[in-house]
Amino acid sequence: MHTETYRPPALPTVGGCELQAAGVDWDAIRVPRRIGVRALAVLGPRSGAVIEDPCEPVFYWFVREGATTGWDVPETRLLGVRQHLVVPPQHRVEGPGPHWRIRPVDGRLITDVRALRTAIEVAAAPFRVP
């Protein structure tokens, strides 16, 4: 028996952005900007696409759907099944509003969840009170 995963249609929002369902093709990790900037530097070229939302201010990384089982990294939030993310159009690389900090060039959307976790933990260390 062949089963296909249902992907809910993306809903258009303001400025060409789309509201897309997480937990189907990808999950997302929400990281405060102050940690995200440092995590991005730690990841370097290992980072996949990243959305920056200056209104929050936060970064969102895309990881493989289901790869976040047991995710418990402080100050971050997992977006999985039944959650949505505002995804900007490919050309939007600056604000106002959500934009690509790193665009998904050549289909490169996903960041390895283990590398991301390590980068976030390294990046967050100076902000933790002993």
Tell me the pLDDT tens digit for each residue of 3-31.
Answer: 455 556 665 666 789 999 999 899 999 99
Could you tell me if residue 2 is inside a domain? no
Is the confidence at residue 2, as pLDDT, over 60?
no
Question: Cβ(30)–Cβ(79) under 8 Å?
Answer: yes
Q: Are strands 99-102 and 58-64 parallel, antiparallel or unpaired?
A: unpaired
Residue-level pLDDT at 21? 92
Range of the domain at 82: 26-127
Could you tell me if residue 56 is inside a domain? yes
What's the whole-number mean pLDDT along residues 100-120?
A: 94
Could you tell me if residue 117 is inside a domain? yes
Read off the pTM.
Answer: 0.88
Q: Given pLDDT bands bounded at 50, 70 and 90, which one contains residue 1?
A: very low
105 or 33, greater pLDDT: 33
84-101 pLDDT, tens digit per residue, is 999 999 999 998 899 999
Could you tell me if residue 21 is inside a domain? no
Residue-level pLDDT at 9? 63
Could you tell me if residue 5 is inside a domain? no
Residue-level pLDDT at 3? 44
Could you tell me if residue 7 is inside a domain? no
Could you tell me if residue 11 is inside a domain? no
Could you tell me if residue 84 is inside a domain? yes
39-75 pLDDT, tens digit per residue, is 999 999 999 999 999 999 999 999 999 998 889 999 9
Total count of domains within the chain: 1
